[in-house]
């Protein structure tokens, strides 16, 4: 691990002539790993909170879909300007700005009392999330030049680690009694997002290289990516895979509570189980992606996830554990695509990541809207049954759509594999 030290541009600071490269390497790693820990928490505390938010603010399933789509829109907006912002103020400034905006969003969420104010608060939070993800992706691509698949998956393991405990932490914190009453979802968001301040400390200490320094001249442009069919296939793969992944954190608790009448705490534990499998897959299977190839890994992983999700719905409550097991497959898609981008576009990784993740953000907006509207539409078709039965049928259709997205991700990966193999460019 210590042999994978990045090229770091150091500078004089007072009596210190140069920062120790090894020390700086570990500082940079701590920011990447710590950033993914915070990212996982901020993304996945919403699962247990959404049913309570829906009840308290009297929201329909479509409004929940709109709320999640606005989150994706904030994320998309951040993706569109983060690369340019990084070029202007550097990765350090971008990271610090992202962490601060997430902490501020926690305070704004605490003060939210209506659907519009809550939507605006989540929009701000996801702007911070988008800035953070792009920044961490660029940084990781610069640092992990060897064993890229393994190291990318290890970095995202920390996202899985915090995601595993996030639903349980969320459900527990909401029940705490503080200041004369329950903390609730507002207080829970406030306390969790305050943790975003912690990674700012190593961010201020570390020295970051610039992607456009002499040794690595940018050769990849947005124009060339727009004309590259392989780039568009990678966008499709990441979009279908990530929408499927993110939808689990947003809808699984809702599905189990409304369809099987599970308690919030029981449903949250199942979501935590999903992220446990998710985390272990990234920890243990990262080396496999390097050995069998990134494209083949994505084909197998996304197909496995889609099959597990659909089988879970078909088998009913007794097959609910399959929702959790699906995390093994879906976990590998995002970091493996990032590794693929780093290897295919070594002299323009930041541009390639920004292009891919920005378009993925558009797909996330559409995907979240579709899931919400599919649930409401299917529910409305069955007028003669009870409202609870109708909603359960809608949720089954919506969650089935999540599984289908993972299967489409696998199909797109097969197409990419065939094209790359013909060109003798398999990665």
For residue 58, what are the contacts with CB-CB under 8 A and spacing of at least 6? none
Helix, strand or coil for residue 273?
helix
pLDDT value at 286 more than 80: yes
Q: What pLDDT, on a 0 to 100 scale, did the predictor assign at position 178?
A: 79
Lowest mean pLDDT among 2-16, 171-185, 250-264, 387-401: 2-16
The pLDDT tens digits for 91-131 are: 888 889 999 999 999 999 999 989 999 999 999 998 998 89
Burial category of 424 from C-beta neighbours within 10 Å (exposed 0-12, middle 13-18, buried 19 and up):
exposed
Confidence of residue 175 (pLDDT cuts 50, 70, 90): confident
Residue 3 has pLDDT above 70, yes or no: no
Per domain, the residue ranges of the chain are 21-209+217-422
Rg (CA), the chain: 21
The whole-angstrom separation of Cα 82 and Cα 350 is 10
DSSP secondary structure letters along 104-130:
HHHHHHHT--SHHHHHHHHHHHHHHHH
CA nearest neighbour of 351 among 238, 224, 207, 213: 224
Question: Is residue 210 scored above 60 in pLDDT?
Answer: no
In 227-332, alpha helices (H): 229-260, 264-284, 286-292, 294-315, 321-325, 327-330
Quote the tokens at residue 84.
Answer: 């340019």
Under CATH, which number does the domain 21-209+217-422 receive?
Answer: 1.20.1250.20
* pLDDT score of 12: 40
Q: Which residue has the higher pLDDT, 249 or 252?
A: 252
pLDDT band, very low/low/confident/very high, at 421 (cuts 50, 70, 90): very high
Q: Is the pLDDT of residue 219 over 90?
A: no
Q: Which residue has the tokens 């990516």?
A: 225
Average pLDDT (325-339) is 92
Query: Quick one: residue 207, left, alpha or beta (phi over 0 = left, psi -120 to 50 = alpha)?
Result: beta
Model pLDDT for residues 133-165, shown as the tens digit of each residue: 888 887 887 777 677 777 778 888 888 788 888
Instruction: Tell me what the mean pLDDT of segment 75-88 comes to.
Output: 80
Written as six digits, the tokens of 79 are 């993706």
* C-alpha separations of 218 from 55, 221, 384 in Å: 51, 8, 62
Mean pLDDT, rounded, for 206-226? 64
d(CA 425, CA 427): 6
The neighbouring-strand residues paired with 178 are 181
Average pLDDT estimate for 163-186: 85
pLDDT score for 250: 79
Per-residue pLDDT tens digits for 24-63: 878 888 888 899 999 989 988 888 898 899 989 998 878 8
pLDDT of residue 386: 64
Distance of alpha carbon 262 from alpha carbon 61, whole angstroms? 18
Q: Give the residue from 376, 310, 406, 390 showing the smallest Cα distance to 63.
A: 376
What value does the mean pLDDT of the chain take? 84
């Amino acid at each position: 691990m210590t042999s994978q030290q990045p090229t770091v541009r150091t500078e004089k600071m007072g009596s210190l002539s140069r920062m120790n490269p090894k020390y700086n390497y570990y500082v940079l790693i701590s920011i990447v790993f710590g950033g993914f820990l915070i990212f996982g928490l901020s993304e996945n505390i919403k699962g247990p909170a959404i049913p309570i938010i829906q009840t308290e603010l009297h929201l329909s399933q479509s409004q929940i879909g709109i709320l999640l789509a606005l989150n994706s829109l904030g994320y998309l907006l951040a993706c569109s300007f983060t690369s340019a912002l990084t070029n202007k103020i550097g990765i350090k400034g971008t990271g610090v700005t992202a962490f601060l905006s997430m902490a501020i969003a926690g305070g704004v969420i605490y003060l939210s009392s209506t659907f519009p104010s809550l939507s605006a608060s989540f929009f701000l939070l996801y702007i911070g999330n988008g800035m953070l993800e792009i920044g961490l992706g660029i940084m990781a691509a610069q640092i992990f030049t060897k064993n890229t698949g393994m190291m990318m998956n290890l970095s995202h393991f920390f996202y899985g680690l915090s995601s595993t405990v996030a639903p349980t932490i969320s459900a527990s914190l909401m029940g705490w009694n503080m200041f004369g009453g329950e903390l609730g979802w507002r207080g829970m968001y406030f306390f969790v997002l305050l943790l975003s301040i912690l990674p700012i400390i190593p961010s201020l200490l570390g020295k970051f290289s610039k992607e456009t320094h002499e040794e690595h001249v940018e050769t990849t442009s947005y124009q060339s990516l727009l004309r590259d069919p392989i780039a568009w296939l990678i966008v499709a793969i990441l979009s279908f895979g990530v929408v499927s992944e993110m939808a689990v954190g947003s809808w699984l608790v809702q599905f189990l509570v409304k369809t099987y009448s599970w308690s919030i705490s029981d449903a949250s534990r199942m979501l935590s189980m999903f992220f446990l499998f998710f985390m272990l897959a990234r920890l243990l299977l990262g080396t496999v992606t390097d050995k069998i190839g990134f494209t083949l890994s994505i084909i197998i992983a996304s197909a496995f996830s889609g099959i597990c999700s659909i089988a879970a719905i078909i088998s009913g409550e007794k097959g609910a554990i399959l929702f959790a097991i699906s995390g093994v497959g879906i976990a590998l898609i995002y970091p493996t695509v990032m590794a693929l981008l780093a290897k295919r576009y070594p002299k323009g990784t930041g541009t390639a990541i920004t292009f891919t993740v920005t378009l993925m953000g558009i797909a996330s907006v559409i995907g979240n809207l579709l899931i919400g509207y599919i649930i409401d539409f299917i529910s409305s078709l069955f007028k003669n049954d009870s409202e609870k039965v109708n909603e359960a049928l809608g949720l089954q259709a919506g969650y089935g759509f999540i599984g289908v997205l993972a299967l489409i991700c696998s199909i797109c990966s097969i197409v990419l594999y065939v094209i790359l193999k013909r060109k003798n460019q398999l990665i």
